[in-house]
Chain A
């Protein structure tokens, strides 16, 4: 098989099909190490803290939050948008890169998709508790009722309900369809026992027949084709929650592409955070190589630069529009009482991505890990800046005020982080974290095994 002399191998070491199966399934067969227990303990404590704060919110009401009459929407919507954004990288890797036939996606798509699902779950928690009365959540769906009322289909908030529930459903199906053959592999590796029975059930009696593979491939490609516009639509709709309002700083047409780029940016940062730990902890360095990390860092440069361009465009448009409210909104953002949040946003999002132009930095694991966390913090602050600085000083000067989050709100953020990491840690123990069959299918073309051509030249 032809091997490009220019591209580095995507799988390192001499592999056989059997060794790929063994190495990727190791974490499911072996007992977990101390590090895993440590991680699960920390993250489930965080999750419990968050759940307590959620219960307190529901019990006591959203008066426990720092919102006031002017800033009626702050920490929770910030965190909601942040989580939804993180989810986007998973779909980007699994769908868009599949359509572009990027082989390097094959060893990272599974974990990225899992990340999407957990991130969307974390995001969905916020609208639920934000309603104040979670038991009435069904009000947001259009169902026939005795009042004869329907939801307002003109509202982006209702579009959001449809977008996010569709996004979650499609992501879950896409992820599970990809998992079925690998669960089959896991099933056949296990000796008899309870575990084997469960995997037998979950594998949907997959037998690897050529016809099944044919349908499986077509379905995956088609799901990728519909998930691609879907993922772009989801964050566009989220951005319209703000863009369709008349508030200075929100009322801009640049929002949909700006939000989508930001979403993919923060999502890739989160994928990097997770994978740099996972590859080390599960000894998967041969499959998630520095080449993969570098490719993802290149996407960080691209999306980070788009985000930087969007910030500059916003400033330019504020000046160029001649609207004094718009001009003040941006002046206030950069130099007002929340200047520090704006500075964090600029430093973490615009400056940090540009550092990755240096090859030494983007191939360094420690630096990448550090920068991925910096970007995640920066992207959280981006949403905070957009939401809070626009709200706290709007048209009516007498209503100007400040917003300060309470411990309950911090608890919600920490809690969703806990839920996210607990779910991810459980996931890497029960399902193959790398798509086994997809890695096997590129072993010959992108592995570092000597090919027949090499051998014949020797």
Chain B
């Protein structure tokens, strides 16, 4: 290449001819210069991909002709790791998959194993799980809202969202000792007895969050910059989205009322009164509206769980599965034996397989647990919502201006830990 030549001039001229009429573009293609068509690499370290995602974009001027997502940079082999750990040791691994909705992941795995064990969970533990999962959904949506708004140019919303999210994380810390990697929901119940005074703290947080959500609504919903950048952007027929594996708020914004909490209620969700919000516009703004409404509904569920929290034990009665009470272990021989056996050998799970679906903030989270009768799972497969959602990225970005790609990617709300596992 001669000195001073740009990489654009070095493109093969044959290459140019192929795109003489790119399909699906409203503006007729006029080759004004050789500089129009280029390949742009986005990521793996790009702020708007929220993690290590690489997207290879084929551009014609500012219009994306095709987008090819490349994943796997965060592949940690968690599914392989499950196979050498005992069932109860798998809980901390689930935290690290979708690191914004840890409690939802704990719940999915616990429910799957409990179904194989046929454990009956006491009502108090079930309601507490629901309350914490809904607060975790709010926390996840707040992270999404803050970063999505930041991508589009609304800086202050980010700070407000993280201010409110901090309250939820403090509550999680109070319950489990951890802000994010809580591991609080365990097979057979909860990890610890709920801390003293949790009712008061939770009762304080819920109205503050509700007030915060209205504040973001006032900041964004009729903000002309936000509306112009999101309305009518990122649409694709909802049937196609479903076929590509998209779930959660993205299809609910297209009018499909699909929510595992209503369709196949788990952990007593059928006893709570809530709506599944849907929109029909199927654009970035509709996804924003759906998630905002979901946060309000989540707070409604959390309030119901707080007000009607049943009393009773927080763990199932299953001495061969759950560690005994510390005091009993010190005084009773039988408890000591159970403690020793669970810690050294683990507990055996009957042979079989189960696919348990829970509704994560991002969509359908499924745990497929295969047991061969031993104390370690034979296989744990996680059907993570972000993986399915991300598969539609190529189709969603085709033919849109490059500036819209940031808004569209933000509206998908994927977590790369959830994609790559």
Chain B binds chain A? no
Chain B positions near chain A (C-beta within 8 angstroms):
none
List the interface of chain A (C-beta within 8 A of B). none
